[in-house]
Structure 1
Amino acid sequence: MFQQYSLAHVQFMLTGLGWTVTLALIALVGGSIAGSVLTLMRVSSNAILSRIAQFYIFVVQGTPLLVTLFIAYFGASYVGFAVQPLVAIAVAFSFYAAAFLGDIWRGAIQSVPGGQHEGAHALGLSRVAAMRYIIIPQAIRIATPPTVGFFVQLIKNTSLASVVGIVELTRTAQIVSNATFKPLEVYLTAALFYFLVCFPITLFSRRLEKRLNV
């Protein structure tokens, strides 16, 4: 017998939405840390480090995120480690985000006009000091809008976390749909929740882009 699609079901989906945002934030933080390292490697004068970072970015960006999730989850078990689903997802999403953020930030640094580098050299600044005080502050202005935009992509990609047992928004929608046999209403509600989270962030990204005149 069909069950009524009730407020309790909506509240359950809101719990899943909380996990969706949490997973995206974990991925953003982890990806930012690893992405910073990749960025420095890519712009390094050491050709070997630059090539290693470039290869990593090429491989991760060319691999579906779902495959990365499976590797992180089942790969650890294969070598004898018991990994909690949340840990596997955090690692996989962080590695995924690092590849894209590293590429975004590398492009931002390299888009700073060459005259800034020459000016820093003329002032007697070392390469590290020039990066810290002149190049990176300007690159941050350039990289901020696309970074915020990428966060929206992370939020939507968290729907893949359900394949390893995390009950996020898409998974809660699937559970409620199976219980109530009202898939249209349920998935429209899930789509509304995604929109209410992602649309303001998208507007914020566009406003940042105009304000920073990038």
Structure 2
Amino acid sequence: MSQELLMTSLAILFQGLLATLLLSAASIVGGTLIGLLAAVLRSFGPWGTPRIARLYTELFRGTPVLITLMFIYFGVSYFGYAIDVFAAGVVGLSIYQGAYISEVFRSGIEAVPKGQWEVSQILGLSKIQAFFSVILPQTGKIVIPPLVGQYLSLIKDTSIVSMIGMSELMHGGQAIVDRVGKPVEIYGLVAVLYFIVCFPLSQWVRHHDRRRSLLS
């Protein structure tokens, strides 16, 4: 690969990387909020909400992420509304990953000793107050490693958003290959950029797990 082609490719790929990071950040926030809500409803929601939350998690964990993205992007247009690819990507990834994140939160909530609820009731806290002031902080400490692991999966899933036309990292690499060829070199650069983003997070999770095992 010539130096000129390398510099041109890197400029395009860095633009795609920025779009990937923005998409990932927005989807992480959305997926975390959706996942937490689904976990709370499934654990102690009123009326039939636990069944609805369970149906949501089972439905999206049992279907490919591409189907979710296609349904959001083309389904909204089918009903006469317009949605851009970035918004469709954020909504689709948030809903899809929220189903997995909800299971992470639910496991964390169930791992908190039942006695914490009893102590909260003795102190006169309502169920909502007990959850947010006592249970949720302890849940956060438990779920951080698997939650970050799920965020890594989300970052890698952003490459699929190129299928609905978003110019993120994978789409930028595909555009370069279509124009100049050299798929091995270009996709190699794409892989390196994904690795640069994901490797520090994976190392942090590994370090955190090792530290917890030593303390336990």
TM-score, shorter chain, exceeding 0.5: yes
Structure 2 equivalent of residue 18 of structure 1: 18
Partner of 2:8: 8
Aligned match of 1:29: 29
RMSD: 2.0
Counting matched residue pairs gives 213
Alignment partner, residue 169 of structure 1? 169
CA distance in 2, matches of 1:121, 1:84: 48
Report the counterpart of residue 42 of structure 2 in structure 1.
Answer: 42
Deviates more, 1:137-146 or 1:40-49: 40-49
Residue identity matched to 1:199:
F
Task: Name stretches of at least 5 consecutive residues in structure 1 with no aligned partner.
Answer: none
Q: Deviations over 1:37-56 (max 9, x none)?
A: 21220111535111110100
Residue in 2 aligned with 1:71? Answer: 71
* Range 113-122 or range 73-82, more displaced: 113-122
**Displacement, 1:178?**
2.0
User: Matched residues, percent identical?
Assistant: 35
- Structure 2 counterparts to residues 144-155 of structure 1, below 5 A: 144-155=144-155
Instruction: Output the CA distance in 1 between the equivalents of 2:16 and 2:123.
Output: 54
Contact 1:3 1:179 in 2 (8 A): no
What TM-score do the two structures reach when normalised by structure 2?
Answer: 0.91
Query: What corresponds to 1:87 in structure 2?
Result: 87
Q: Deviations over 1:29-68 (max 9, x none)?
A: 1112222221220111535111110100110111100000
Is 1:3–1:181's contact at 8 Å kept on the other side of the alignment? no
Residue type of the partner of 1:92? G
Quick one: distance in 2 between partners of 1:177 and 1:3? 16
Distance 1:157 1:45 in 2: 30
**Could you say what secondary structure the match of 2:81 adopts?**
coil
1:170 is aligned with what amino acid? M
- Does residue 160 (structure 1) correspond to residue 171 (structure 2)? The answer is no
The structural deviation recorded for 1:89 is 1.2
Q: In 2, are the aligned partners of 1:5 and 1:182 still within 8 Å (CA)?
A: no
Asked if structure 2 preserves the Cα contact closer than 8 Å seen for 1:13 and 1:190, the reply is yes
Q: Deviations over 1:54-83 (max 9, x none)?
A: 100110111100000110011011111122
Structure 2 residue aligned with 1:180? 180
